[in-house]
Chain A
Amino acid sequence: MSRLDINKTYKLYIGGKFPRTESGRYYTINNSSGNLIANMCLASRKDFRNAVVIARKAQNSWANATALNKGQILYRIAEILEGRKEQFILELITQGEARKVAQKEVETAIDRLVYYAGWSDKYQQLFSAVNPVSSSHFNFSNLEPVGVVSIIAPEEQSLLGLVSVIAPAIVGGNTVVVLASESKPLTSISFAEVLNSSDVPGGVVNILTGNKAELVSHMASHMDVNAIVYCGKDENELKEISELASNNVKRTIFYKKSNWENKLCESPYFIEKTQEVKTTWHPTEI
């Protein structure tokens, strides 16, 4: 008798744990010939709210981790991902990519993490300023994370896209709640396993799988979320997000590009988008 495969149950990733969805619901992922690939959690509004509470709790200490430490952790993610490269290539193939394309995507994702790891202790120097004010004060401006960021990850390039939006947000000290690609979610929970073994503190990155149409309004309207990143081109969703974001003057960041391999998709300006500028004054007269 041949050996029976152990099918993996895909779950959510919240607060460094892998809970099932509160909703008790799931959705199915099929390959191009219509065969079942996996059942995925259909995250609910409650799951999202739980994730925000945990992301808020984790934010302060993550922001206060040293730049060196954050960089090391991002590099560590890249290391672990490299070690599991083959698994991710296979998952992308299962989701319908050609091997060559899948390999390129995983390698670019690894390189992108290394890229942002290197920025962790540099972007501050690039975007900060000492301001030559005309009064007798010492005055400087530096960057601080906006706080908790909700992210609707790109539908295509489900691994590279996910990495490309998470890395610049967390390297800048934000914590994130991400909704993974709805049609290609396999790699997102596998990536959560990578994060979980990479010294990323629990709660810094939270990954949900589920239905975009169902969750997008909650991700845009939550009053304890400081910014929302939306990847996609759906004009109705863009409008809805902008309107709901006005409830608490949430920052909105829209990426309409679809090819995340492009060199323009890695830049310190991506880090800057989820940062605030703080200006500090002190008199210099005795």
Chain B
Amino acid sequence: MAKKNNNIFKASWTYDEAPESTDHIQIKKQYELYIDGEFTKPVKNNYFDTINPSNGKKIASIAEASSEDVDKAVKAARKAFKGWAALTGKERGKYIFRIARLIQERAREFAVIESLDGGKPIRESRDIDIPLAANHFFYYAGWADKLEYAFPNRNPKPLGVVGQIIPWNFPLLMAAWKLAPALATGNTVVLKPAETTSLTALKLAEIIHESGIPKGVVNIVTGAGETGASIVNNPDVNKIAFTGSTGVGKYIQKATAGTNKKLTLELGGKGANIIFEDAAIDQAVEGIVNAIFFNQGHVCCAGSRLFVQESVADLVIEKLKRRMETLIVGDPLDKNTDIGAINSKKQLQTIENYIKIGINEGGEIYQPTCEFPKQGNWCAPTLFLNVSQSHRIVQEEIFGPVLAVQTFRTIDEVIEKANNTPYGLSAGVWTEKGSKIFHLTQKLNAGVVWGNTFNKFDATSPFGGYKESGFGREGGLHGLKPYVKFE
């Protein structure tokens, strides 16, 4: 891809293309459902295309599961539950360890497919998504035979059949977040990946099959919203674990009312990223970039609201603009790429619509000059200056590389502004003064607070939201609890 050298930076600093090879990747023309240990054709024989968002080309056909298919999967999971739950924790753990190892062995293949199918930069899928997914299986595998230590003085039991619905922004990682703790605690699972990014979940099905785990313990059904609704409404499902938008989360909470289904929700966010005048400014600028442009901003905990202390605002914004000029938007498989393709046409439209709203509401837009490939879904990294609390781009989750910048003068003021949304998933604080960090981290209503860093994740570390960002935690010891009941 040609890059226009229209500023000093780009004139003196350009990179040769460094595309990751796709030679060793095997992608079938058509993918079936994974039910009861078999790759099964959907009852209604419907398939949909999965598209490469960086060039609009079809990658493969994916089976669309109807409610009949979901029923079959739930029945298989029910049948498998007794045996899986009765297995000793030690043995259960060994299967999960084995899955972790198999992911590691095929890490490169997974990374390339993740970038092909989802549009994220290969650097991120290779260094973050895939290793973290493997780590989650490793971490929870080790809990399987130690559950009595996780919940002192209680007797944890699995819930039964768990329905899990995951989003398109971190396809394999979300599958790992969901599957690993559910399996470690002795539940059986019906998992549905997002319709635009099913491939790595189906590859994971192959690995799970290869691991020799008993039939029916893991079932993977593909499809869109209707397939998800079939899982939510299936009367024989004991728990729903959902990651996705707050709107759908509310619908699920309502739909499961009056049933005995347990529920955990990981929903949207509008994270505040706060830069104080005494922060290490260059590091903070890197932090801002990482907070909002990581994974094209398709991150529920993205730092999409930037608060800069007034005394350093001009400096920070100038440096941020300069840094944004150097961001490379383009081919997800190029190792130099910082910002890949927007996951789908639909999502691109949503983002573009928000950008229009921002302009119409009087926000001052800034985008660096970038030239995009001819095909595919692309969005330049975008700043909005001169916005206030009431602007829609400040209040609503955009799920794209769009940052709304506000300034503040005092600590109390920024705390109030930062907490002024229905969401409560993440926040960032940048200052070199330790006491200020701890003051802020105590005051911010968010499930994850990053001090002098942003968008860090780990298998051992609980993640989840306050308020309308959902309930329940994933990761760490706290991620086990939503998958057990006590007598």
Q: Which A positions have Cβ atoms within 8 angstroms of B?
A: 126, 129, 131-135, 137, 139, 141, 146, 226, 235, 238-243, 245-249, 251, 267, 269, 276-283
Whether A281 lies near B453 (C-beta < 8 A) is yes
With A278-B449, A281-B456 as known contacts, state yes or no: A247 contacts B467, CB within 8 Å. Answer: no
Whether A269 lies near B258 (C-beta < 8 A) is no
Determine if B451 is an interface residue (Cβ-Cβ < 8 Å). Answer: yes
Q: Which of B257, B447, B462, B468 is A131 in contact with, Cβ under 8 Å?
A: B462
Determine if B22 is an interface residue (Cβ-Cβ < 8 Å). Answer: no
Q: Interface size on B (CB < 8 Å)? A: 45
With A134-B458, A283-B453 as known contacts, state yes or no: A248 contacts B467, CB within 8 Å. Answer: yes
Write out the residue numbers on chain A whose beta carbons fall within 8 Å of the beta carbon of B246.
249
Whether B462 lies near A277 (C-beta < 8 A) is yes
With A137-B453, A235-B258, A279-B449 as known contacts, state yes or no: A249 contacts B458, CB within 8 Å. Answer: no
Bound CA span A267–B153, Å: 10
Write out the residue numbers on chain B whose beta carbons fall within 8 Å of the beta carbon of A129.
462, 476-478
Whether B486 lies near A131 (C-beta < 8 A) is no
Bound CA span A126–B446, Å: 21
- Considering the complex, which residues of chain B in the window 443-478 have a beta carbon less than 8 Å from any beta carbon of chain A? 446-453, 456, 458-464, 466-471, 473, 476-478
Q: Which B positions have Cβ atoms within 8 angstroms of A?
A: 135, 152-154, 246, 249-251, 253-254, 256-258, 265, 267, 422, 437, 441, 446-453, 456, 458-464, 466-471, 473, 476-478, 486
Bound CA span A241–B254, Å: 10
Whether A281 lies near B450 (C-beta < 8 A) is yes
Whether A280 lies near B470 (C-beta < 8 A) is no
Q: Which 6 A-B pairs have the closest CB atoms?
A: A239-B258, A242-B257, A246-B253, A133-B458, A246-B254, A282-B451
Q: Which of A134, A137, A248, A282 is B437 in contact with, Cβ under 8 Å?
A: A282
A selection of 8 A-B contacts at a CB cut-off of 8 Å is A126-B152, A139-B461, A240-B257, A246-B250, A248-B422, A249-B471, A277-B478, A279-B463
Bound CA span A134–B437, Å: 22
**Seed contacts A131-B458, A134-B459; 10 additional CB < 8 Å A-B pairs:** A129-B476, A129-B477, A137-B456, A139-B461, A242-B253, A243-B258, A246-B251, A278-B448, A280-B450, A281-B461
Whether B267 lies near A249 (C-beta < 8 A) is yes
With A246-B254, A269-B486 as known contacts, state yes or no: A282 contacts B478, CB within 8 Å. Answer: no
Write out the residue numbers on chain A whose beta carbons fall within 8 Å of the beta carbon of B267.
249
CB distance from A16 to the nearest CB of B (A): 25
